[in-house]
Amino acid sequence: MKLSHDEVRKIARLARLGLTDAEVEKFSKQLSDILSYSKMLDEVDTSGVEPIAQITGLTTVTFADELKPCENPEELLKCSPNPTKDGLIQVKSVFE
Amino acid sequence: MTYYPMIHLTIAEAHRGLKSKKFSCVELTKAYLERIKKVDQKIHAYLTVTSETALEAAKTIDKKGQFSNALTGIPISLKDVVCTKGIKTTGASKMLENFVPPYDAHVWERLQAAGCVLLGKVNTDEFTMGSSTENSFFGPTRNPWNLDYVPGGSSGGGAASVAADECAFSIGTDTGGSIRQPASLCSTVGLKVTYGRVPRHGVMSYAASFATIGPLAKTVEDIALIMNVIAGNSEHDATTPDIPVPDYTKFLKKDLKGLTVGVPKEFFGEGVEAEVADTIHREIEVLKKLGATVIDVSLPLTKYAIPAYYILVKSEASADMARYDGIRFGYATKDAKNLEEFYMKTRGEGFGDEVKRTIMLGTYALSAGYYDAFYLKAAKVRALMKREYEEVFKQCDVLAAPVSPMAGFKIGDKADDPLAMYMADILTVPINLAGVPAMSVPAGFSKAGLPIGLQLIANQYKEETLIHVGHAYEQATEWHKQKPTL
């Protein structure tokens, strides 16, 4: 498997990850190596097998749907590197 | 006054000393702080040392004078992905270089309630992604046994801090070997619990369906004492099942009569250094002498563990890493015209190489057109591997194998080859795929003087079996008593 520079740039854009040209070059090779290696999974017969993501067999865990107050909204807002106003975080505009 | 002899004590020994007023918690804490001051410039296990708050906490504990819990007054280190209210928690990332959490991780709440004293936060690969602690934004940690070598990773700071007697024990995380492999490389005991046995609330997530929290300590008895405090379900983490937690100290037995130990041949095959395989075969004879029945078993899917693990973990991680967007916390770029450029630059500037590779690999494996071929395929192989472990535990109570395929590697040796670094996890990731618990116990040294760990693996929620076997083995051997020269 070979990931082209354009494919690497496209994935990076999907993930909102800015890359330099040197990084695109490096990751194109490294990711191609890793993905090629991963293709060995094709050797395993998985026909009729259900995929698994919860490994200890837990099924839907629920809790009471009750409103609880946030204990420290001011402290949480203080973590933001951006300006805040009226309990909201101010971000850059979506359009220029 | 010199405090030094105290730093070698196990938790159990220190507890007896505190309880009988042989020394105070302040004296014990000062001893460790002095040790850190003396040796950590060589090792770089600590990212933050919390001397002042540690001494304050120690004074309060001495004043109360009640040492009813075995962990009361015991000085510890926490991996720097465990959130500590008011104390910087960086994930060893530029992204969180100055992040001070507004709340405590639940595991730290439990340890505080028991009376543990926090000495500081220890190094890790960035957001726990790595096997050598070289991926830390703040520079690598060095192995106390040989400063040219890596301590393993990602809980390398934790393992090194225990091995160098810079704390009594440490709390790490294990997503694919991150507790066991550094424990093996630094000659400490390290326990990876069953998925969900210890609540993960407030601990930075790498891959949500794999990650576990567990202890690194000097003896198996100490592991039992820590587990009595940190294990058990919590409303803060919906993945922790409501299964009762036993008193783990009840399983500290001296013999292995009636127990069957399985030796999986795939864990001694290709890619495993002969010196490591020979050492573990030799140590399995000790289990036999203690009364265990040893049988050969087979886990044929083991060779597919690395690709299945990395596809699944990187996919989950690409979603977990989405929270680092420069909006609510952490690093933010200074210079962006609009919101998209803000995200791109913040993440491009804030993350290191392995995190970037992770996000790219995961995004690719989850993207339209590749999801079936990569993510879904790997999730099916995982289902088959789980079945394989269920079957093998019908034949035996515990598996015995090496932890790391090599006794160690030098700083820089694998840093530029991510696939070679992933291969260092070949014997640890199958355990996380199957969600079962496993423990590394000191089992010898290579000719070059580097530690080798024995990996014990049990069925889901059978941590007590690991504690039983590990303790009996430890009583019959002297490896855990050896200390590095610093």
Q: Measured between beta carbons, which residues in chain A are less than 8 angstroms from residue B378?
A: 38, 41
Query: Residue B270 pLDDT more than 90?
Result: no
A 23-52 residues with CB < 8 A to B? 23, 27, 30-31, 33-35, 37-44, 46, 49-52
Each residue of B320-346: pLDDT tens digit?
A: 999 999 999 999 999 999 999 999 999
At residue B215, the 3 state secondary structure works out as strand
Catalytic residue among B178, B184, B187, B234: B178
Each residue of B75-87: pLDDT tens digit?
A: 999 999 999 999 9
Cα(B202)–Cα(B108) distance, rounded to whole angstroms? Answer: 9
pLDDT band at A96 (very low <50, low <70, confident <90, very high): low
The predicted structure's pLDDT at residue A1? 82
Cα(A43)–Cα(B457) distance, rounded to whole angstroms? Answer: 26
Cα(A95)–Cα(B137) distance, rounded to whole angstroms? Answer: 33
- What's the Cα-to-Cα distance from B390 to each of B313, B356, B468, rounded to whole Å? 22, 35, 20
Which residues does B269 contact at the CB level (< 8 Å), separation at least 6?
none
Question: Nearest by CB to A56, which of B330, B380, B435?
Answer: B435
> Smallest CA–CA separation between B11 and chain A, in Å?
31
The predicted structure's pLDDT at residue B32? 98
Query: Residue A10 pLDDT more than 80?
Result: yes
Query: Residue A19 pLDDT more than 80?
Result: yes
Read off φ and ψ for residue B342, nearest 5 degrees. -60, -45
Q: What is the mean pLDDT of chain B?
A: 97
- What's the Cα-to-Cα distance from B361 to each of A21, A86, B117, B123, B364, rounded to whole Å? 18, 39, 40, 25, 5
Percent of chain B with pLDDT over 90: 97
Bridge partners of B79, per DSSP, are B122
Each residue of B184-243: pLDDT tens digit?
A: 999 999 999 999 999 999 999 999 999 999 999 999 999 999 999 999 999 999 999 999
The predicted structure's pLDDT at residue B5? 84
- Mean pLDDT of all residues in B427-437: 98
Nearest CA-CA partner of B96 in A91, A82, A79: A79
Query: Residue B428 pLDDT more than 60?
Result: yes
The predicted structure's pLDDT at residue B425? 95
B101-119 burial, b for 16+ CB within 10 Å, e for fewer? bbbbbbbbbbbbebbbbbb
ipTM of this predicted structure? 0.96
Q: Measured between beta carbons, which residues in chain A are less than 8 angstroms from residue B361?
A: 31, 34-35
Residue A53, in any domain of the structure: no
Tokens linked to B233: 């379900």
DSSP state of B10: -
> Smallest CA–CA separation between A67 and chain B, in Å?
15
> Smallest CA–CA separation between A18 and chain B, in Å?
4
Kindly determine whether residue B357 and residue A18, on different chains, have CB atoms separated by under 8 Å. Answer: no
Question: Nearest by CB to B418, which of A34, A56, A95?
Answer: A34
B 331-390 residues with CB < 8 A to A? 331-332, 336-345, 347-349, 351, 356-357, 359-361, 363-364, 367, 374, 376-384, 386
Domains in chain B with CATH codes: 4-254+439-481 (3.90.1300.10)
Cα(B403)–Cα(B426) distance, rounded to whole angstroms? Answer: 9
- Mean pLDDT of all residues in B23-43: 97
Q: Measured between beta carbons, which residues in chain A are less than 8 angstroms from residue B351?
A: 17
Query: What H or E segment, with its residue span, contains residue B434?
Result: helix B429-434
Kindly determine whether residue A56 and residue B374, on different chains, have CB atoms separated by under 8 Å. Answer: no
Question: Nearest by CB to B378, which of A30, A41, A63?
Answer: A41
Chain A within 8 Å of B88 (Cβ-Cβ)?
no
Mutate to test the interface with A, among B320, B335, B337, B380 (most CBs of A within 10 A): B380
B28-51 burial, b for 16+ CB within 10 Å, e for fewer? bbbbbbebbeebbeebbbbbbbbe
Residue A82, in any domain of the structure: no
Residue A17, in any domain of the structure: yes
Kindly determine whether residue A41 and residue B364, on different chains, have CB atoms separated by under 8 Å. Answer: no
Kindly determine whether residue A51 and residue B194, on different chains, have CB atoms separated by under 8 Å. Answer: no
Chain A within 8 Å of B85 (Cβ-Cβ)?
no
Query: Residue B319 pLDDT more than 50?
Result: yes
Query: Residue B3 pLDDT more than 80?
Result: no
The predicted structure's pLDDT at residue B334? 93
Percent of chain B with pLDDT over 70: 99
Question: Nearest by CB to B307, which of A16, A30, A41?
Answer: A41
Tokens linked to B75: 């000085």
B 164-223 residues with CB < 8 A to A? 194-196, 209
Residue A30, in any domain of the structure: yes
The predicted structure's pLDDT at residue B4? 64
Q: Which domain range does residue A28 map to? A: 5-43
Cross-sheet strand order for the sheet of B117-122? B46-49, B117-122, B75-79, B169-174, B212-217, B189-192, B438-445, B451-458, B398-402, B260-264, B293-297
Kindly determine whether residue A27 and residue B325, on different chains, have CB atoms separated by under 8 Å. Answer: no
B314-337 burial, b for 16+ CB within 10 Å, e for fewer? bbbbbebbeebbbbebbbbbeebe
Cα(B178)–Cα(B210) distance, rounded to whole angstroms? Answer: 11
For residue A30, the domain's CATH number is 1.10.20.60
Chain A within 8 Å of B420 (Cβ-Cβ)?
no
First-to-last alpha carbon distance for chain A, in angstroms, is: 38
At residue B413, the 3 state secondary structure works out as coil
Bridge partners of B117, per DSSP, are B75
Residue A60, in any domain of the structure: no
Query: B381 near A50, Cβ under 8 Å?
Result: no
Query: Residue B2 pLDDT more than 60?
Result: no
Nearest CA-CA partner of B216 in B132, B160, B176: B160
> Maximum Cα–Cα distance for chain B, whole Å?
70
pLDDT band at B1 (very low <50, low <70, confident <90, very high): very low
B154 prior amide bond cis, ω within 30: yes
Which residues does A40 contact at the CB level (< 8 Å), separation at least 6?
B304, B307
Residue A12, in any domain of the structure: yes
Each residue of B434-453: pLDDT tens digit?
A: 999 999 999 999 999 999 99
Size of interface A-B (CB pairs under 8 A): 169
A63 or A88, greater pLDDT: A88
Active-site residue flag, B178: yes
- Mean pLDDT of all residues in B384-388: 98
Nearest CA-CA partner of B240 in B231, B229, B253: B231
pTM (2 d.p.):
0.97
Count of the separate structural domains present in chain A: 1
Residue A24, in any domain of the structure: yes
Chain A within 8 Å of B319 (Cβ-Cβ)?
no
> Smallest CA–CA separation between B391 and chain A, in Å?
15
- Residue B218: other Cβ atoms inside 10 A: 26
- What's the Cα-to-Cα distance from B414 to each of A6, B248, B258, B449, B451, rounded to whole Å? 28, 38, 43, 20, 19
Active-site residue flag, B79: yes
Q: Measured between beta carbons, which residues in chain A are less than 8 angstroms from residue B304?
A: 40-41, 43-44
Query: B98 near B189, Cβ under 8 Å?
Result: no
Query: B383 near A50, Cβ under 8 Å?
Result: yes
Nearest CA-CA partner of B175 in B147, B208, B146: B208
Question: Nearest by CB to B332, which of A3, A15, A82?
Answer: A82
Kindly determine whether residue A41 and residue B356, on different chains, have CB atoms separated by under 8 Å. Answer: no
Chain B within 8 Å of A89 (Cβ-Cβ)?
yes
Active-site residue flag, B63: no
